[in-house]
Structure formats: structure tokens, C-alpha cells
Amino acid sequence: MKTKLLVEQHFHGCYGVDFNTAAVDDVLDLAKNILNEGIGYIFPTLVTDSVENIKRQIGIIKQAAARQTRDMAQICGVHLEGIFLNPEKKGIHDMQYFLQPTVENFKLLEDDFIKIVTLAPELTEPELFGYLRGKGVKIQAGHCIGGDLTGCDGATHTFNAMSGITHRGKSTALSALINDDIYTEVIADGVHVSDDALKLLFKTKQMNKVILVSDCLPCTRSNPRPLWERVPHAAGEGEFTFAGSKIFYDGVKATSAEGTIAGSTKLLPDIIKILAGKDMFSGQYISNPYDYHGLTPHGEIEWDENFNIVKVTSY
């Protein structure tokens, strides 16, 4: 089977690289290595941090994009996940840095390389929706409890860190499932969402509105990559620091000390293989982010019958 290259619109790093702390060369090395995994487009995702550090890291990612070569995954822009979230669904985000989602606060860190913003719509100033849309930024509801997704383009890691399915009133997950205009991210790594919840999403959503994401952490594929030696807080197994917290990784799942899942430890091709093994994968899911972001294919993946990557071609 042949497909387009994969698009990763929500991940925090891998190979020991954390986008919140990475240097330009780290981002470039990651972009080169990840193309070999069949991932041709990436949106480096920044977790909640100080305004100063977010601005610095956006600049670093932007510099890397300007220097990248044809043998790398294309750096398409930044996914800003943190800072405009609801404390009630903070996950592992450090809420000391949370800001009210307003135009004024967005301007504190505004950059034309921000392409996706995850925010809590129930806390968002109405003017911010129009402002972001005018800039061509995708708006996604996440780490939130609101059921009104008016003004949103998508839902961030559906089911996780949002108000769940309810039979009375509205909720974020319910609105994301029944709104035909909303794209739904989902982390189908076998840890974040149960098989039954995945089946509900895949049956409820139009097939062309599902976006597979990894939400993977720096510990993903971190050992034995050479980058590991340069990032001592991102171990293959054990403890590492992410989003200002100590994260514990047992080789399968990464959690905070309180047991909150911190993110995935799988890349997209791993997730696709997991879904295929459960007969829940469709090639349509690979095409959807191309439509969402208006991307043009620049390569393809050849898979074997067991959904192992045989060959990656970039052109």
C-alpha cells in the first residue's frame, strides 16, 4: 500500500528534543530524522510556558524552518497549545502562566509562524476568534469545558482534557462529535482513548474530519539516538522534565507524579499500525490534514501488509 507522507500537527518533540527548550540545530536534526519515519510535515507544538520563552522558541523554530533542506520534514508553523487554557482541564500544563484568551494577550506573543492555537472557547474574548481567523490561524478547542464551539475549526486531542460525553446539556466532546464543521484530533495510541471511545468517534464523525495526532513527548524514540546525549532530561525510560514537571516514563506510558497522562510516547506510524491491527484505520485519515491546512503532497510512503514502513520517498 502507498500513501501520502504523514502530517504531524500536534507533537511536543521526540528523539530527546523538546520544542520548549530546543536549539535550532536540534529542530533541524529532528526534522531530518522524522522524515525517515514517513512524517513529511510537522507543526512543532509548544506547551504552556512564560511569554518570554514561548516567543524565544517560536523564533528558534522559525529560524530552523528558514534553514531546512529538502531531506527534512517541512516545518509548517507552530501549534501553540498552552497559555490560553481552562485551569479546570489543565492536564500537566503549568497554570501559573495561563492568560485570559484576549486579543491583547495574544499580541504579547504574536508571530506569523503561529498556525494553530488551542484555547478554551468558554473563556475566550469573542474578538479573539475574529482576530485569529483574520490571521489565517486554525482555532482548536482544548483543555476546556465549554460546549459551544462556534468559531473553532477543530478540537484538540478529543476526549482528553475536555468535558466528556453527556446526555444532558452540552459538552466539548459531544459538540466536537456532532458538529460537522469541526475537525477532531484524536490520540489513538491505545493509552489516551479506549477502543470503545475510538469506535464512537469513528462512527460519529465524517471520515474526512478525523485527524490522527501523536501528542508525543521528547522521550519518544529518544534512545539510542545521538541527540539523547545532549538532552539529559529526556530518557528512554525513567524520569525527565516536561512542562515544568517531573514526568515518569515506564516504556509505555508517561505520567506526572499524580498519574496524569503527560502525552504520548508513540509516533504517528506507530499509531497507524495500532489502529490497523484493530481494523480501525482508514487511509482517509492521512489525507485529512492536507485538506485542513491546504498542503501539497511532496512524497509517499510504501507500507507492507503489516503496516510497517518499507520505503519513504520525498520529492
What is the rounded CA–CA span in Å between residue 197 and residue 200?
Answer: 5
Choose among 247, 244, 283, 245: nearest CA to 265: 247
Q: How confident is the model at residue 231 (pLDDT cuts 50, 70, 90)?
A: very low
The answer to whether residues 173 and 145 touch, using CB atoms and an 8 Å cutoff, is no
Considering only residues 227 and 69, tell me which one the structure prediction assigns the higher pLDDT: 69
Nearest-Å Rg of the Cα atoms of the chain is 18
Q: Which of 20-34, 167-181, 239-253 has the lowest mean pLDDT?
A: 239-253
Question: Domain limits at 195?
Answer: 2-314
Choose among 34, 309, 31, 8: nearest CA to 187: 8
The answer to whether residues 247 and 236 touch, using CB atoms and an 8 Å cutoff, is no
List pLDDT tens digits, range 291-315.
999 999 999 999 999 999 999 999 8
Could you tell me the three cell numbers for 274? 495500532
Q: What is the mean pLDDT of residues 69-74?
A: 96
The answer to whether residues 66 and 20 touch, using CB atoms and an 8 Å cutoff, is no
- Residue 26 sits in a domain whose CATH number is 3.20.20.140
Considering only residues 223 and 164, tell me which one the structure prediction assigns the higher pLDDT: 164
> Which pLDDT score is estimated for 62?
98
Choose among 67, 77, 83: nearest CA to 29: 67
What is the rounded CA–CA span in Å between residue 165 and residue 291?
Answer: 27
Q: Which of 222-226, 238-242, 276-280, 311-315 has the lowest mean pLDDT?
A: 222-226
Task: Kindly state the percentage of the chain with pLDDT values over 90.
Answer: 90
Torsional sign, CA 134, 47, 10, 145: negative
> Which pLDDT score is estimated for 237?
61
Q: How confident is the model at residue 225 (pLDDT cuts 50, 70, 90)?
A: very low
List pLDDT tens digits, range 137-155.
999 999 999 999 999 999 9
> Which pLDDT score is estimated for 233?
42
What is the rounded CA–CA span in Å between residue 18 and residue 190?
Answer: 23
Q: How confident is the model at residue 223 (pLDDT cuts 50, 70, 90)?
A: low
pLDDT above 60 (res 245): yes
Q: What is the mean pLDDT of residues 192-214?
A: 97
Q: What is the mean pLDDT of residues 286-293?
A: 98
Q: How many domains does the chain have?
A: 1
Beta-strand ranges (E) seen in the chain are 2-4, 6-11, 13-14, 17-18, 39-46, 74-75, 78-80, 114-119, 138-141, 154-155, 183-186, 210-212, 238-242, 245-249, 254-256, 261-263, 299-303, 309-314
> Which pLDDT score is estimated for 230?
37
List pLDDT tens digits, range 34-57.
999 999 999 999 999 999 999 999
Choose among 102, 101, 61: nearest CA to 78: 61
List pLDDT tens digits, range 100-119.
999 999 999 999 999 999 99
- Angle at which helix 51-67 crosses helix 24-35, to 10 degrees, equals 60
Q: What is the mean pLDDT of residues 212-236?
A: 65
Q: Which letter does DSSP use for residue 168 in this model?
A: S
